[in-house]
Structures are given as C-alpha cells and as structure tokens.
Amino acid sequence: MISPDTQQNIFYTIYFMLTHNALAVIYSLGIVVSTCLLFYKPTRAKVLILWGFVILLFAFEYEKHILEGLKEQTINSLITERQSVKIEYYVTKILTKAVPFVLPIIGWVLVIAGAFYNRIETHIFKIIDRNV
C-alpha cells in the first residue's frame, strides 16, 4: 500500500507535468489521431493536418527547450575573434522573435488547410477551369 503522502506527491507530479506541457500533450494527441486516420484512409488533407501538428509540437519544444541553447551556440560559432553587435542582434531577433512567431503560424495554416482541403481544392480547380 502506498502512503497518503506518496499518493498526493504522485498526483501533484502528474498534475503539474500535464499543466506544464498541456499544449505538447494536445499536439501529440493530434499527431496520434491524424496518424491513425492516415493508416485507416490516407488523404492529402490528413497529411497536411499531421504536418501541421508536427510543426506545432516542434514550435512548442523549440520555445521551451531549444531556443536558448541554439541562440548561444549560433552566436558563439559566428562570433569568434572580435565582438560583432550586428551579428548578435540579427541572430537574437531571428531565433528569439521571428522563428517562434512563424512556426505556429505555419502549423495552424497547415491544420486549417487540411481541415478545409476539399473546399480549397474545389475552389482552385474552378478557377483553373475558368482560365483554361
């Protein structure tokens, strides 16, 4: 039998782990569900949704775990002999502002495009047929 104190600690550990990584859990569920649906009946729309969730999960992990180490490594490899404020400024802006802003947008665009793929495809083919 587990003591009540240990039971409470296990509960809090699971609770805080899930709340800290809630988005990662949701994106992972999206990956698992879209993968299962792809095995059942593969379509282009489901591939777009899968890649959207993969990019969203990567964006979450990038911001939480990869960002600082990548920034430091990139700055250290580009600036070796003399200090360059300009290089450090651009690396910092791109890796800390642009990439975390663009990755989720790409991910959600792919998920939404996958969800509405049939309508988008039909609309595009109507435009192409009119021009031909």
Instruction: Summarize pLDDT for 57-87 with one digit per residue, the tens.
Output: 999 999 999 999 999 999 989 888 888 889 8
DSSP 23-64: HHHHHHHHHHHHHHHHHHS--HHHHHHHHHHHHHHHHHHIII
Number of domains observed in the structure of the chain: 1
Residue-range definition of the domain harbouring residue 86: 4-131
Q: What is the pLDDT of residues 7-22, one digit of tens each?
A: 899 999 999 998 889 9
pTM: 0.82
Q: What is the rounded CA–CA span in Å between residue 15 and residue 18?
A: 5
